[in-house]
Amino acid sequence: MPSQQQGTSMAQQDITSAELGEYTYPGNLNTAIGLIRNAVSGEREDELFYNYLISVAPTQEARNIIITIRNDERKHNRMFRRIYFDLTGRRLPISTESQFEKPTSYCDGIKKALLGELAAVQRYRRIVFALQNRIQLNMLGEIITDELRHASLYNLLYSDGRCFNSGSRF
């Protein structure tokens, strides 16, 4: 049983009303729509980035893993586009940007991809907070678990690519 002093300190750590905002529908819906728009906006740049990693991957196994990840990301973009349409009644334009920042090495690209997957999970869970529809929630569940799986695969590629000795450190 917690003492009264422990109870007071625990109460001071409660989540404030302001902190609850990102969890509260419909107040968080516009943020979620913006996050979906941002997730889709860089799809052409992402495609070029994945194609670069595939082209410089040191083994066929690494290429196959990155191809699988790229294909998952294509599916995620279609899912995000569908969710965006369902929420807004508008279709997102197709991205035509054709430039991307080429990593200095395969290992730097893998590191960037790994960190990108983890950052995406943090953004995408904020989208989940605003969804009410079971199908949309299921889609986001698939996307988020894929991103976590991708991060694990990039960890594998980072270690298999002997990137620890390349100077490309976290």
Q: What pLDDT score was predicted for residue 150?
A: 98
Q: What pLDDT score was predicted for residue 168?
A: 56
Selecting from 1.20.1260.10, 3.40.640.10, 1.20.80.30, 3.40.50.720, what CATH number does the domain 25-90+101-161 have? 1.20.1260.10
Tokens 């894929």 correspond to 146
In the predicted model, what is the mean pLDDT of residues 85-104? 91
DSSP conformational letter for 132: -
Residue range 61-94, pLDDT digits in tens: 999 999 999 999 999 999 999 999 999 999 999 8
Task: Give yes or no for residue 5 having a pLDDT over 70.
Answer: no
Residue range 7-65, pLDDT digits in tens: 545 556 788 888 888 888 999 999 999 999 999 998 889 999 999 999 999 999 999 99
The answer to whether the beta carbons of residues 109 and 56 sit under 8 Å apart is yes
Cis before residue 26, ω within 30 degrees of 0? yes
**pTM for this predicted structure:** 0.86
Q: Where do the structural domains in the chain lie, given as residue ranges?
A: 25-90+101-161
